[in-house]
Structure 1
């Protein structure tokens, strides 16, 4: 069956190709059960399935989840990539712009070190009750090179997270992983050393992607199932070199993102309701505003 769609092919994206009529009808039924509108059309190698571009990632994930759970002999070949999201989304550019504006404002006012002292993450201060620092430290950078490196990391790792999970759930996950990494790092080290930068959140996003890939696949050998974790850990080690790099913040950010992702991505599949993304976005904004307000009140 196929749900009626407005005739606007420019907004449609082909997600499965080369289907038999029976398999195409099955996929349409799966998508219809999740309130995802889709249609079929005749392609060069069989029947193709298309849906709205902003539903494409969710549609492929729902179909993949169905065949994982039912373990049927047929599994459709998606025209999307292994991580279906890609890097580009409006939300990720808003986040990158926010980081750039904050850094530019600090540099123009000449208050870099004042802001680092007031909002940087430190075990000594966090143990005294300044837990807001675990959030605010993610938005501070030592110089432009530090900022640009983290902007690239956000685009490459946090971008897919937002496309996979949504414009509200994605930022909430990245913020949770980065904040959790800073809190664990502060507890582990417990020193007056100040840690700043979005790299903890970037590593959290990388850990989340590793978890997503591990759980996304069907029946695999144990060695193949842990390969995304090994690849993510290797990437983390590669990106954790350099002068004044807080390696432990990277490690804890990655681990926090990985273990959070094990629970987060299945929940996003199950918890589907109309206001999920707006609610998640509001929660994210409340956390950010509360952290800044707490810092201003000190």
Structure 2
């Protein structure tokens, strides 16, 4: 018996042909003229070129500034985009007022130096002054290499001022400063003078000339005192290397304070570089004796502590002026002169 269910009825070929026919294409509308621009509106004036002082549209940053300025002065305005830039329109009756407000803002901003945290501070070169003072110090150190007769009195500088831990523990603490001026031979002297000039130039660039020399002297004296207190009697030492490494430590401390807190590798790089220089240069001996690692280490540590304190102070108060630098330098010179005065009188 044939299946007469509707699902199994054969399809009509005429319906398939009608389904495959496409609908007729819509008729194209005739082209109309482009819509005329409504800008500038009647009564509006384009003051873009008058405000910028140059032809063409303004940048997005300048347009935002104009919008804030004019909105704060309740001047009606409109900013329209033109290509990659913007143009400013204001009512004609208030164009002069708007231009005056924009010019006043530009003049006020030009007089203000905006702080740039990434910019390095502009510092005058200090290395010529450092070289001049180091030249005078080198001449004085060379004068103390031998013996001197003053008013018929024979002065042996090394016996008066060389570092002796037993004598220092007995009360002659001025030797912590005078030992910095004495050297074993010319090679020892010029080596310390050259390295001292290098590190002092870098340190004084951060702190100023007078404060840099004061920090270096204080670090050298503190290093010698710590060495004697910790190691005890039985040591003899001389040379400015303790102060030289004190200058290196102070440089690292000041730079570390400027980049505080040192949470990144880049910020802690100055301290790491100073430690590397200590490891590379701190193995030099003095006077043919054993390597004075203790003096170098204590001088560096003292300089680092003093430099860190000075760096925080400079960060808060700023670099001292010329008068203050002269006072710091005079304090360092008078302290050293007083130490030698005590040594000669005793």
Counterpart CA distance in 2 for 1:236 and 1:280 is 26
Is 1:247 equivalent to 2:277 in the alignment? no
Q: Deviations over 1:23-63 (max 9, x none)?
A: 975436xxxxxxxxxxxxxxxxxxxxxxxxxxxxxxxxxx6
Range with greater deviation from structure 2 (227-236 or 272-281): 272-281
Counterpart CA distance in 2 for 1:148 and 1:242 is 14
Preserved contact between residue 258 and residue 311 of structure 2 (Cα < 8 Å) = no
Using the TM superposition, give the Cα deviation of residue 219 of structure 1 relative to its aligned residue in structure 2, in angstroms. Answer: 6.6
Counterpart CA distance in 1 for 2:196 and 2:281 is 13
Preserved contact between residue 174 and residue 204 of structure 1 (Cα < 8 Å) = yes
What is the correspondence of 1:120-135 to structure 2 with a 5 Å cutoff?
120-135=162-177
Counterpart CA distance in 2 for 1:216 and 1:127 is 38
Counterpart CA distance in 2 for 1:24 and 1:123 is 62
Preserved contact between residue 256 and residue 262 of structure 2 (Cα < 8 Å) = no
3-state SS, counterpart of residue 275 of structure 1 = helix
Q: Which residue of 2 aligns with 1:119?
A: 161
Residues 276 and 235 (structure 1), Cα distance of their counterparts in 2 relative to 1, 3 Å cut: same
3-state SS, counterpart of residue 201 of structure 2 = helix
Is 1:161 equivalent to 2:203 in the alignment? yes
TM-score by length of 2: 0.59
Q: Which residue of 2 aligns with 1:89?
A: 128
Counterpart CA distance in 2 for 1:24 and 1:239 is 49
Preserved contact between residue 100 and residue 147 of structure 1 (Cα < 8 Å) = no
Counterpart CA distance in 2 for 1:26 and 1:195 is 55
Q: Which residue of 2 aligns with 1:13?
A: none
Q: Which residue of 1 aligns with 2:69?
A: none
Using the TM superposition, give the Cα deviation of residue 76 of structure 1 relative to its aligned residue in structure 2, in angstroms. Answer: 4.3
TM-score by length of 1: 0.68
Q: Which residue of 2 aligns with 1:258?
A: 304
Residues 118 and 280 (structure 1), Cα distance of their counterparts in 2 relative to 1, 3 Å cut: same
Using the TM superposition, give the Cα deviation of residue 284 of structure 1 relative to its aligned residue in structure 2, in angstroms. Answer: 1.4
Residues 76 and 286 (structure 1), Cα distance of their counterparts in 2 relative to 1, 3 Å cut: same
Using the TM superposition, give the Cα deviation of residue 100 of structure 1 relative to its aligned residue in structure 2, in angstroms. Answer: 3.0
Using the TM superposition, give the Cα deviation of residue 277 of structure 1 relative to its aligned residue in structure 2, in angstroms. Answer: 1.7
Preserved contact between residue 210 and residue 258 of structure 1 (Cα < 8 Å) = yes
Using the TM superposition, give the Cα deviation of residue 222 of structure 1 relative to its aligned residue in structure 2, in angstroms. Answer: 3.8
Q: Deviations over 1:104-150 (max 9, x none)?
A: 4533759xx94223211222111111111011111111011111111
3-state SS, counterpart of residue 270 of structure 2 = helix
Q: Which residue of 2 aligns with 1:6?
A: none
Using the TM superposition, give the Cα deviation of residue 209 of structure 1 relative to its aligned residue in structure 2, in angstroms. Answer: 1.0
Residues 96 and 265 (structure 1), Cα distance of their counterparts in 2 relative to 1, 3 Å cut: farther
Is 1:278 equivalent to 2:320 in the alignment? no
Using the TM superposition, give the Cα deviation of residue 226 of structure 1 relative to its aligned residue in structure 2, in angstroms. Answer: 3.0
Range with greater deviation from structure 2 (87-96 or 193-202): 87-96
Residues 24 and 247 (structure 1), Cα distance of their counterparts in 2 relative to 1, 3 Å cut: farther
Residue from 263, 287, 291 that aligns with 1:221: 263
Q: Deviations over 1:182-236 (max 9, x none)?
A: 1111111112321111111110110011112212237763444333222211211
What is the correspondence of 1:95-106 to structure 2 with a 5 Å cutoff?
95-106=134-145
3-state SS, counterpart of residue 163 of structure 2 = coil
Using the TM superposition, give the Cα deviation of residue 152 of structure 1 relative to its aligned residue in structure 2, in angstroms. Answer: 1.2
Is 1:189 equivalent to 2:231 in the alignment? yes
Q: Which has the higher helix share?
A: 1
Residue from 217, 220, 231 that aligns with 1:175: 217
Q: Deviations over 1:167-188 (max 9, x none)?
A: 3212111110111111111111
Preserved contact between residue 87 and residue 156 of structure 1 (Cα < 8 Å) = no
Structure with the greater alpha carbon radius of gyration = 2
| Unpaired runs of at least 5, structure 1 | 1-20, 29-62, 64-73
